């Protein structure tokens, strides 16, 4: 196995076996304060953003109200890396990029970035799915990093994933959708990822997973950045911001603005 930059060999083995890896407290309290400030700005200052960024809003759920942190009920944003330098640094973050290189290989490119929120009363109609049919490539060598900005327990939109499901290739979906039938889900392998502020979930493109519903009055907010190996070729026609941006070559970080930061502080 090539030398790991950030993860321990146990963490890497767990990802290879399960298809996902939960890293609690990946970002510290100070980093999260700053991230939440920037995030609040992103969901409240929704005008005068680059045209290529797109926002979607959820109508207020009467019994649940609005979370003042996200008063417009922004449920999704595509291409947040275009918002400003903070958001560029956020997806080129040296520890995350190093983690991706540990998981996927020495040569990493960016794939895309989005915000996925679960406002109060959010109901997820998407169901169980793999990301793969939404973003096909020559090889399934992609993974997402989900960063949680709120405690996200079962009743509050926790992500759920099926252990080892990435090892079974592409799963059968229901007609004309990318949804996998509930009856095909092996209950014994189902994991509810109860995340906290600053946690990161790494998830392989073939893992069967779903976003939960939010039955609380607090919104749950997350950033989802995806990465790929250079060697896997896009056949989806990825037009997202910074798609294909080279981030590591032979495990070395490439972006000059993050070059001086350390990428070796293990959190294990
Ligand atoms: O938001 C989540 O909990 C999971 C996200 C998800 O299912 C996806 O983006 O494919």
pLDDT one-digit tens code per residue, 226-249 = 999 999 999 999 999 999 999 999
Residue owning the nearest CA to atom 2 of ligand 1: 211
Q: Which domain holds residue 251?
A: 9-259
Average pLDDT over residues 13-20: 98
Distance (angstroms) between ligand 1 centre and the Cα of 155 equals: 15
- Give tens-digit pLDDT for 114-132: 999 999 999 999 999 999 9
CATH code assigned at 138: 2.60.120.620
How many structural domains are present in the chain? 1
Distance (angstroms) between ligand 1 centre and the Cα of 74 equals: 15
What pLDDT does residue 259 have? Answer: 42
Write out the DSSP string of 225-245: EEEEETTSPB-S---STTTT-
- Which of 19, 142, 209 is the pocket-test mutation for ligand 1 (most atoms within 8 Å of CB)? 209
Q: Is residue 171 part of a domain?
A: yes
Among the listed residues 171, 154, 177, the one whose alpha carbon sits nearest the alpha carbon of residue 208: 171
Long-range contacts of 258-264 (CB under 8 A, 24+ apart): 258/89, 258/92, 258/93, 258/94, 258/97, 261/94, 262/94, 263/5, 263/6, 263/94, 263/95, 263/97, 263/98, 264/5, 264/6, 264/98
| CB-based contact 241:113 (threshold 8 Å) | yes
Average pLDDT over residues 158-179: 96
Using the structure block, give the residue that is written with the tokens 């520890």.
95
Residue 149: Cβ-neighbour burial (10 angstroms; 0-12, 13-18, 19+):
buried
Q: Is residue 264 part of a domain?
A: no
Percent of the chain with pLDDT over 70: 95
Cβ–Cβ contacts within 10 Å for residue 40, how many? 16
Residues with CB under 6 A from ligand 1: 116, 131, 159, 209-211, 222, 224
Among the listed residues 113, 112, 110, 136, the one whose alpha carbon sits nearest the alpha carbon of residue 234: 136
Query: Strands 190-193, 159-162: parallel, antiparallel or unpaired by DSSP?
Result: antiparallel
Q: CA torsion angle for 240, 244, 245, 247 (degrees, to 10)?
A: 130
Q: Is residue 3 part of a domain?
A: no
Q: Is the pTM of this model over 0.85?
A: yes
Q: Is residue 118 part of a domain?
A: yes
Q: Is residue 266 part of a domain?
A: no
Residue owning the nearest CA to atom 10 of ligand 1: 131
- Give tens-digit pLDDT for 79-105: 999 999 999 999 999 999 999 999 999
Average pLDDT taken over every residue of the chain: 94
Average pLDDT over residues 194-216: 98
Closest ligand 1 atom number to CA of residue 209: 7
| CB-based contact 151:222 (threshold 8 Å) | no
């Amino acid at each position: 196995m090539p030398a790991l930059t950030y993860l321990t060999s146990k963490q890497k083995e767990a990802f290879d076996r399960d298809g996902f890896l939960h890293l609690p407290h990946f970002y510290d309290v100070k980093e999260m304060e700053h991230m939440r400030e920037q995030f609040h700005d992103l969901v409240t200052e929704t005008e005068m953003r680059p045209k290529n960024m797109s926002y979607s809003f959820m109508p207020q759920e009467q019994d649940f109200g609005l979370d003042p942190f996200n008063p417009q009920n922004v449920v999704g944003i595509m291409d947040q890396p275009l918002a400003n330098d903070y958001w560029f640094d956020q997806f080129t973050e040296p520890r995350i990029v190093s983690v991706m290189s540990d998981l996927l290989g020495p040569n990493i490119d960016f794939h895309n970035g989005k915000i996925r929120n679960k406002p109060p009363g959010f109901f997820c109609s998407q169901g169980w799915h793999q990301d793969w049919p939404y973003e096909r490539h020559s090889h399934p060598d992609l993974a997402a990093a989900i960063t949680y900005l709120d405690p996200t327990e079962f009743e509050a939109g926790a992500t759920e994933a099926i252990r080892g499901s990435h090892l079974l290739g592409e799963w059968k979906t229901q007609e004309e959708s990318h949804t996998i039938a509930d009856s095909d889900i092996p209950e014994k392998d189902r994991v509810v990822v109860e995340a906290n502020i600053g946690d990161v979930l790494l998830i392989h493109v073939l893992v069967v997973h779903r976003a939960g519903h939010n039955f609380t009055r607090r919104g749950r907010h997350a950033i989802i950045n995806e990465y790929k190996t250079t060697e896997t070729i896009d056949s989806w026609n990825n037009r997202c911001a910074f798609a294909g941006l080279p981030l590591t070559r032979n495990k070395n970080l490439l972006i000059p603005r993050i070059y001086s930061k350390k990428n070796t502080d293990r959190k294990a």
